[in-house]
């Protein structure tokens, strides 16, 4: 469950800011700020940074948009601690919250309750940002097990205080289920062969514990002739395990409609995705809001069926050459943005309520 993290002081030192800033370069930072800023012009306007990480995007907004207050959500306590140090100089303009970002509705309600006089729209946010996927912090921390380049315990939890690890998945899932998550979440063409090898290895040699052992198995299992394209042979399997361990797809399916519902009319949402499954969910949710829900044969479109979102990007925007040179991790980014035109019609809003009940 969510809880606010104690402020680290009003003015952070250069050293405090540098620890996080030096380890994290936010993807498409200026584009995100430019898209969000028009919704944050009124004093006290609230941006919810659903994936705070080490605070790079939030820092950019707080520096360039002096009227904004940011609520930063992250499930990773270490990320919250580092970001809080980085952003301490902004004082009470920043509120860190330990939560999973599909809880955005509850977070906005709780943390705007005492700000009614200061907020342009009490109980709602003026802007929402989601920068999906694994963070620089998680990739760079060897003992978290996210990176296949270093040997580490097979953990991969974004919140290391709760839930099953990657080792638990490898040691308890059956061959068919392993093949499914590798195929669906990793888009791995050799999913059945890898799943079979994983199960055989644990039966013969005991439980999975270390990432280097998994990398060795993947190298031995995936045909050498296919490794010339598609990057490291472990890339897709590690991605699939990370998504499964953290329930990323299920969380995102709940979070995007919940984020739209948390937006005030005129508010803006920006989402950065890094693989096709994420981008597909965002694309479908935005398309639902930007398309009339009226039957096509009606002569007049009823007000309740008019689109409640307006697209701010033409399709998904990619990183340009300058961004790629500055930040290689931006290579797979897909950015989409939308603006809230009106409240969601009642006949569509129940979907969000149902997903919230499903989470509980």
- Provide the angle, in degrees to the nearest 10, between the axes of the packed helices 211-221 and 191-205: 130
For 230: left if phi > 0, alpha if psi spans -120 to 50, otherwise beta; the answer is left
Q: What is the pLDDT along the chain (360 residues), one digit of tens a residue?
A: 455 543 333 334 445 555 555 556 899 999 999 999 999 999 999 999 999 999 999 999 999 999 999 999 999 999 999 999 999 999 999 999 999 999 999 999 998 876 655 667 778 999 999 999 876 666 666 777 788 888 999 999 999 888 999 999 999 999 999 999 999 999 999 999 999 999 999 999 999 999 999 999 999 999 987 766 667 889 999 999 999 999 999 999 999 999 999 999 999 999 999 999 999 999 999 999 999 776 776 776 677 778 999 999 999 999 999 999 998 889 999 999 999 999 988 877 755 544 445 444
Domain match, 125 and 253 both? yes
69 is in an annotated binding site: no
The annotation status of 138 as a binding-site residue, yes or no, is yes
Half-sphere exposure of residue 36, counting CA atoms within 13 Å on the CB side? 35
Same domain, 11 and 127: yes
Task: Check whether residue 253 and residue 241 sit in a common domain.
Answer: no
274 plus 158 within the same structural domain: no
Question: Does residue 253 share a domain with residue 104?
Answer: yes
Is 56 labeled as ligand-binding? yes
SS3 (DSSP) at 188: coil
The verdict on whether residue 64 carries a ligand-binding annotation is: no
User: Burial letters for 314-331: b for 16+ Cβ neighbours within 10 Å, e otherwise?
Assistant: eebbebeeebeeebebbe
Predicted TM-score (pTM) of the model is 0.86
- For residue 173, give its domain range: 144-246
Ligand-binding annotation for 131, yes or no, is yes
Residue 114 assigned as binding residue:
no
Choosing from 191, 218, 246, the residue where a domain stops is 246
Other C-beta atoms closer than 10 Å to the C-beta of 172 total 12
Phi, psi at residue 265, to the nearest 5°? Answer: -60, 130
Q: What is the CATH number of the domain that holds 11?
A: 3.40.50.150
**Residue holding tokens 């392993």?**
178
Residues 132, 148 within the same domain? no
Question: What CATH number is associated with residue 195?
Answer: 1.10.150.170
Q: Are residues 228 and 254 in the same domain?
A: no
Residues 218, 169, single domain; the answer is yes
Examine the domain organization and report whether 258 and 339 are in the same domain: yes
Asked whether residue 116 falls in the same domain as residue 11, the answer is yes
Residue 12 near residue 87, CB atoms below 8 Å: yes
Going by DSSP bridges, is the β-strand pair 3-4/94-98 parallel, antiparallel, or unpaired? antiparallel
What is each CA distance from 256 to 129, 185, 252, in whole angstroms? Answer: 10, 19, 6
On whether 55 is known to bind a ligand per the annotation, the reply is: yes
Are 177 and 231 in a shared domain?
A: yes
């Amino acid at each position: 469950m969510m809880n606010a993290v104690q402020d680290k002081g009003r003015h952070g030192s250069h050293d405090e800011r540098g620890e996080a800033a030096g380890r994290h370069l936010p993807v498409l930072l200026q584009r995100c700020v430019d898209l969000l800023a028009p919704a944050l012009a009124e004093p006290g306007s609230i941006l919810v940074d659903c994936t705070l990480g080490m605070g790079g995007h939030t820092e950019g907004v707080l520096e360039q948009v002096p009227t904004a207050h940011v609520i930063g959500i992250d499930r990773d306590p270490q990320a919250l601690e580092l970001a809080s140090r980085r952003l301490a100089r902004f004082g009470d303009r920043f509120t860190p919250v330990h939560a999973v970002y599909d809880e955005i509705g509850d977070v906005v309600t709780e943390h705007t309750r005492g700000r009614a006089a200061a907020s342009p729209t009490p109980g709602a946010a003026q802007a929402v940002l989601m920068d999906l996927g694994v963070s620089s912090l998680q990739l760079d921390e060897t003992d978290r097990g996210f990176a296949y380049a270093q040997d580490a315990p097979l953990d991969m939890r974004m919140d290391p205080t709760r839930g099953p690890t990657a080792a638990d998945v490898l040691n308890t899932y059956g061959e068919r289920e392993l093949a499914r998550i590798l195929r669906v979440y990793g888009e791995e063409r050799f999913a059945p062969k890898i799943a079979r090898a994983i199960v055989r290895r644990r039966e013969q040699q005991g439980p999975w514990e270390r990432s280097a052992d998994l990398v060795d198995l993947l190298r031995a299992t995936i045909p050498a002739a296919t490794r010339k394209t598609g990057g490291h042979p472990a890339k897709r399997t590690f991605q699939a395990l990370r998504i499964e361990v953290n329930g990323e797809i299920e969380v995102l399916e709940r979070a995007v409609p919940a984020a739209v519902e948390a937006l005030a009319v005129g508010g803006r949402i920006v989402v950065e995705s890094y693989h096709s499954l994420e981008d597909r969910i965002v694309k479908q949710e935005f398309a639902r809001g930007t398309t009339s829900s009226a039957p096509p044969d009606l002569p007049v479109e009823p007000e309740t069926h008019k689109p409640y979102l307006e697209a701010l990007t033409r399709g998904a925007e990619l990183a340009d050459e300058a961004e790629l040179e500055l930040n290689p991790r931006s290579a797979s980014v897909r950015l989409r943005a939308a603006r809230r035109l009106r409240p969601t019609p009642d006949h569509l809003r129940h979907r969000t309520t149902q997903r919230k009940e499903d989470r509980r």
